[in-house]
Amino acid sequence: MLYGLLLPSGNDAAIAIAEFLGEMLKNYRLPLLKSTYASNVSLFVSEMNKVASNIKMSETTFANPHGLCHFYNRSSCVDLAKLCIHAMKIPLFRGIVN
């Protein structure tokens, strides 16, 4: 699924990953959030924003998992570089983009 996500047309993979991991977050990691979020995708996007904040992406807000046009999606070149540096620390990601 990660390989599909990184293709130019990987938007469907982004939604599938968000649905799956959002469900995992609801059921296993964050059971108190079941009633807080309308969907698994919105929970996953919330987690994306937490990670962005944790790695100091101060000019970034995610509104959806795929990055297609949305009024609240925003970022900067500097923040995207921070995300790339963070992602390259993950061996699986490094292998896929290699």
pTM of this prediction?
Answer: 0.81
Alpha-carbon 52 to chain mean position: 9
Whole-number Å distance between alpha carbons of 45 and 62:
6
Of 94, 23, 83, residue with least CA distance to 53: 83
- The stretch 74-78 carries a mean pLDDT of 97
pLDDT of residue 28: 73
Q: What is the CATH number of domain 2-97?
A: 3.40.710.10
pLDDT of residue 32: 58
Amino acid at 37: Y
Ordered by start, the domain boundaries in the chain are 2-97
Tokens found for residue 35: 């009633």
* pLDDT tens sequence across 1-56: 777 777 777 788 899 999 999 988 887 765 555 556 678 999 899 999 999 999 99
Whole-number Å distance between alpha carbons of 23 and 31:
10
